[in-house]
Amino acid sequence: MEYVAGGSLHGYLKSHQSRRLPEEECKRIFKQVVEGIRFCHNRSITHRDIKLENLLLDDDKNMKIIDFGFSTCIPNEKRVKIFCGTPSYMAPEIVNKTEYCGPPADVWALGVLLFTMLCGCFPYRGSTDSELYGKISNAEYKIPTDIYTSLSTDAIELIATLFSINADKRPTAKEVLSHPWLIDVSLPREKKHACLQMRAHSSQPQKVQEPTLIKSDQTLVRDTSS
């Protein structure tokens, strides 16, 4: 078992007064996570619960993806109907309880992750599940004006691409890595796939303490195939 001293990405964002990261630092962290997810998808593994709490930093601030308790190892093109994940990170096809392929749902969650790191808040929020799911279904998000003016055009465009409502139009993890916002970001060769860590998931969803801006919510799983 490896000890990861840096804590979670959730905690790391909380340590910043703005609850968000500078764009250049965000690029490096995000590219490491996407590289890890690409590695999984190439082996027909879908994580299904990508979120701040499931990303750890080592002493060098390199990322470790943990908690594969809800992951599946099935052909990427196989459609399933499982209501699974953390509500704020769920893709439209999940909240609408339709059959879906796993990798595009992971890519949507990567979009939530990127937005949160750059903006310091979740893109989709609601006072009820119904309100939240409605906003997700319509990709109804808004980058705060003061942050929008400070972000690069490439960052804004990548967020919009990741939030394609039609799962078939979302980029693959491999395509995300080729996006202009990430293409020139170098990763240490020995760290390229070192961001995967296996950890058992509790059988009961756990409530995580919520900070002021970056709120966490429960992980849910429900098989809706019947």
Q: Give the SS3 label for residue 110.
A: helix
Dig out the tokens for 204 from the structure.
């009961």
Q: Distance between CA 29 and CA 49 in Å, rounded?
A: 18
Asked if 49 is an active-site residue, the reply is yes
Which residue out of 49, 67, 106, 217 is catalytically annotated? 49
Question: How far apart are the two ends of the chain, measured CA to CA in Å?
Answer: 38
What is the rounded average pLDDT of the residues 99-106?
97
Q: How far apart are CA 27 and CA 19, in angstroms?
A: 16
pTM of the model: 0.85
pLDDT in tens, 21-78: 999 999 999 999 999 999 999 999 999 999 999 999 998 889 999 999 999 999 999 9
Element (H, E) at 220: strand 220-223
Phi and psi at residue 100, to the nearest 5°: -150, 160
- Domains of the chain plus CATH, in order, are 9-197+211-223 (1.10.510.10)
Question: Residue 134 burial (CB < 10 Å; 0-12/13-18/19+)?
Answer: middle
Model confidence at 15, pLDDT cuts 50, 70, 90, reads very high
Owner of token pair 């996407």 = 34
- Helices 23-41, 102-119: inter-axial angle, 10-degree rounding: 170
pLDDT: which is higher, 211 or 168: 168
Confidence of residue 197 (pLDDT cuts 50, 70, 90): low
> Residue 87's pLDDT is what?
96
- Please tell me the predicted confidence (pLDDT) of residue 195: 59
Check the CA dihedral 59-49-126-151 and report its sign: positive
